[in-house]
Amino acid sequence: MTDTNTTTADTIAAISTPPGRGGIGIVRLSGPEAASIAAQLVHLRQPLEHARARLADVLDDAEEPGESRIDEALVTFFAGPNSYTAEDLVEIAAHGSPVVLDMLLRRALHLGARLAEPGEFTQRAFLAGRLDLTQAEAVRDLIDAQTLTQARQAASQMGGSLSRRVAPAKQSLVELIALLEAGIDFAEDDVDVTPEAEIRRRIAALTPSLAALEASFARGRIVHDGMTLAIVGRPNAGKSSLFNRLVERDRAIVTATPGTTRDLVTERISLDGIPLELVDTAGLREGREEAEQLGIARSREALADAALVLIVLDATQPLNDEERRLLAAVQDRPTVVAVNKSDLTKNKCLAADASELNNFPSLPTSALTGKGIPALRERILALATGGAAAEPGMLTNLRHHRAITTTLAALGDAEQANATGIPHEMILLDLYRALWALDSLTGQTTADDILNLIFSTFCIGK
């Protein structure tokens, strides 16, 4: 990546739309020569003007207008610093022909631009102060969003919701640091040394909002990354039928013959905005042929890897030894028990008590009639989120979470040092560590190698 300590003096170019054919394709340029290079790439019908789209001809030979035209484009110019990157920026929107877009890009490189690295447009926006690091990361999250909830969360973070949530605590921390620094610097000028009780009060006032933010990671991480749910049970218990009910289409083959599912069947759904990958597995039993044995082996692997487990029992059958072993194996994992085929029995549940189900609460369901499916969805959602509610400015990735946990740990150390009468110079070391962690969240003190790693995960052209 570009050295973040230097001022960018070069012009970068890239195709900003996804690979392949489409109605529109965009070539983007940013840097001091963006406008002059764009003017040589196409034949403009009017001069470029800030924030105005201009019609232009894409020419086979840029110096000869007329019959050599191979496409028509809209060219939009944004003069720095009033652009995404705070530099002169030009977007050429032609038809989405890979051949035409590649020709424009190659010509731009020939005219002096260089190919942009992944995320370099957004990195320049960050370095210019147009975005903080949480907002820049939200750009990537919005591009990668697979559910509307993920898109909303990313849009909220792009608007600075996380930065605003951290700002009051950071301001209070800076004020406390300034107070202690003044007491040390001007101790000989009759400036009062801050008493232990005042330091304790100020640190205590900082903690609740940061602790609440740290707790938001429980749901934010799941909204960002999603989870995997393995559907397991004996053959012919109705696993595939429940799978189809949850995905709301006939994705898995269902027959009355036990052992129909020989391999894993997966489908991604959105459950109240939570991305959830469902894995329908082969029925767990002693395999009778090689294909079924391989399917059962993969089922056990999927069960081991899944974050959540849905055990499907047959309401018309008593528990067997395989099911008892399965219930024992998942007793310490997030698990939902669905007692399927409840429409075929008058009993509310299996002829099994809570101890046989390892005290997992069970839900009567019917994949045939749809009975219990809404309650099953709610139980899975509650299990996935741990009951945590959605809120603005949630922590959504591990880097954010580590920054906040480091801040809380440093404040805890400062509080303990204060209580034991340690000199203020040592307390300040802990407070500065807390401040550095908060600054790393927004990128104000983030090391270059971390920045490069973050922006390298972006797509080229963004």
CA 14/CA 30 separation, integer angstroms:
9
C-alpha separations of 206 from 127, 210, 400 in Å: 29, 7, 18
pLDDT at 322: 83
Which residues lie across from 458 on neighbouring strands? none
CB neighbour list of residue 115: distance below 8 Å, 6 or more residues apart:
12, 13, 14, 105, 109, 460
d(CA 130, CA 1): 19
Identify which of 250, 383, 369 has the alpha carbon closest to the alpha carbon of residue 315: 369
Torsion of CA 301, 305, 307, 310, to 10 degrees: 0
What pLDDT score was predicted for residue 347?
52
The whole model's pTM is what? 0.75
Pairing of strands 335-340, 362-364: parallel
- Sign of the CA dihedral with 12 first, then 17, 21, and 27 last: negative
Residue 82 CA to residue 124 CA, distance in Å, equals 13
Dist CA 366 CA 340 (whole Å): 5
In CATH, which superfamily holds the domain spanning 226-385?
A: P-loop containing nucleotide triphosphate hydrolases (3.40.50.300)
Grouped pLDDT means (10 residues each) for the chain, 462 residues: 52 91 92 94 92 90 62 94 94 92 94 93 91 89 84 88 92 90 63 79 94 90 87 85 80 48 74 84 64 70 84 86 84 87 68 64 86 90 77 86 96 94 90 93 75 78 82
pLDDT of 60 = 79
Question: CATH code for 12-130?
Answer: 3.30.1360.120
Which residues, including other chains, have CB under 8 Å from residue 459's CB and lie 6 or more apart?
118, 119, 143
Q: How far apart are CA 385 and CA 220, in angstroms?
A: 9
Could you tell me what percentage of the chain is helix, strand and coil, using 3-state DSSP and rounding each to the nearest 5?
45, 20, 35
CB-based contacts of 186, cutoff 8 Å, min separation 6: none
From 41, 137, 131, select the one nearest 91 (Cα to Cα). Answer: 41
Q: Give domain limits for the chain.
A: 12-130, 157-216+393-443, 226-385
Helix (H, G, I), strand (E, B) or coil at 370: coil
Closest Cα partner for 396 from 119, 131, 133, 157?
157
Sheet hosting strand 42-44, strand order edge to edge: 42-44, 52-59, 69-78, 89-96, 22-30, 12-15, 114-115
301: Cβ contacts below 8 Å, ≥ 6 apart: none
Domain spanning 157-216+393-443 has what CATH number?
1.20.120.430
